[in-house]
Amino acid sequence: MLTYEDAVTQVSELLQVQTGLSVSKSSEEEIQLSGALFVNRVYRDFPVRKHYRIKLVIPVGSEELPYVLDTENQIDNTYPHAFTGKKLCLETPTSIRIQYIDGFNLVSWVQNYVEVYFFTYEYYKRYGIYPFGERAHGYCGIVQTYKDLLHIDNEINTIHVMKYISTVKVYRGHHRCPCGSNKRIRSCHGEYIKPFYEDCRLRKILDDDLLECYREAKEGK
Ligand SMILES: [Zn+2]
Ligand SMILES: [Zn+2]
């Protein structure tokens, strides 16, 4: 969550790096940037040096993450990760929240998620594969994110572990590991489960995500 002052500071840092962007709206609720984002990256000898016209919205004083709108339809809408809603489909919010658990950083977010998004799009158009993997959407994407974070081997067991963390409020290393291995937590997934007991912000993210999963399951998405 950014305060208005933080947001203004971070925006001015970003505008020094991304000189094609400028502030198009600034209020206590959100700051909007518009213009050309410059992407300059190379991966496996595949270079992208290109400008993309975007609108970048930074919510202020809210849990909502910033998002990007493709205002000139540069992303082909047959691309599997074109949009969620009207926003460009960046990484799952869980990964981004955890990445910035100690404080959001706009410059880093633009580099690691927005620029990478456009790079991935060009790479996919050229080679038909995702250079850095991909995530499913909605519920499945959330569970995949935890599967990786918790080092669990499948989605079903990941849900079991998520439910365990959400309902058992104190860390108990001697409990059977909820991954289904029949080992004790401390000699199984303890290393990955423990951080959720040591950092209440992580637990809050997991609790919110689990609720989101239940909500989507109920709506039958
Ligand atoms: Zn997507
Ligand atoms: Zn385990």
For 185, half-sphere exposure in the C-beta direction (CA atoms, 13 angstrom radius) is 21
- For residue 164, the tally of other CB atoms under 10 A from its CB is 19
Of 27, 24, 35, which Cα lies nearest the Cα of 7? 27
Are 36 and 20 in contact by the 8 Å Cβ rule? The answer is yes
Q: Please tell me the distance between residue 137's alpha carbon and the centre of ligand 1 in angstroms.
A: 6
Q: Which ligand is nearest to the CA of 83?
A: 1
221 has a pLDDT exceeding 60: no
- For residue 16, the tally of other CB atoms under 10 A from its CB is 8
3-state class of 20 per DSSP? coil
* Cα 87 to Cα 72: distance, rounded to the nearest angstrom: 13
Q: Which ligand is nearest to the CA of 113?
A: 1
The mean pLDDT of the chain is: 93
Q: Please tell me the distance between residue 108's alpha carbon and the centre of ligand 1 in angstroms.
A: 20
Q: Which ligand is nearest to the CA of 90?
A: 1
pLDDT per position as a tens digit, 181-197: 999 999 999 999 999 99
pLDDT per position as a tens digit, 88-108: 999 888 889 999 999 999 999
Q: Which ligand is nearest to the CA of 175?
A: 2
Q: Please tell me the distance between residue 168's alpha carbon and the centre of ligand 2 in angstroms.
A: 15
Which has the higher per-residue pLDDT, 203 or 92?
Answer: 203
Comparing 71-75, 174-178, 207-211, 213-217, the range with the smallest average pLDDT is 213-217
Q: What is the pLDDT of residue 91?
A: 85
Q: Please tell me the distance between residue 209's alpha carbon and the centre of ligand 2 in angstroms.
A: 20
Q: Please tell me the distance between residue 176's alpha carbon and the centre of ligand 1 in angstroms.
A: 35
Q: Which ligand is nearest to the CA of 134?
A: 1
Q: What is the pLDDT of residue 216?
A: 85
- Residue 94 burial (CB < 10 Å; 0-12/13-18/19+)? buried
129 has a pLDDT exceeding 80: yes
Comparing 3-7, 80-84, 113-117, the range with the smallest average pLDDT is 80-84
Q: Please tell me the distance between residue 200's alpha carbon and the centre of ligand 1 in angstroms.
A: 28
Q: Please tell me the distance between residue 118's alpha carbon and the centre of ligand 2 in angstroms.
A: 37
Q: What is the pTM of this model?
A: 0.88
The label of the residue with tokens 């969620």 reads 84
Which whole number is the average pLDDT over 186-211?
A: 95
Pairing state between β 21-26 and 87-88: unpaired
Give the C-alpha distances (Å, rounded to integers) separating 82 from 79, 137, 212. Answer: 5, 11, 22
pLDDT per position as a tens digit, 22-80: 999 999 999 999 999 999 999 999 999 999 999 999 999 988 899 999 989 999 989 99
Q: Please tell me the distance between residue 90's alpha carbon and the centre of ligand 1 in angstroms.
A: 6
Q: What is the pLDDT of residue 63?
A: 85
Protein residues within 5 Å, CB atom, of ion ligand 2: 177, 179, 181, 188-189
Q: Which ligand is nearest to the CA of 89?
A: 1
Q: Please tell me the distance between residue 168's alpha carbon and the centre of ligand 1 in angstroms.
A: 32
Which has the higher per-residue pLDDT, 40 or 137?
Answer: 40
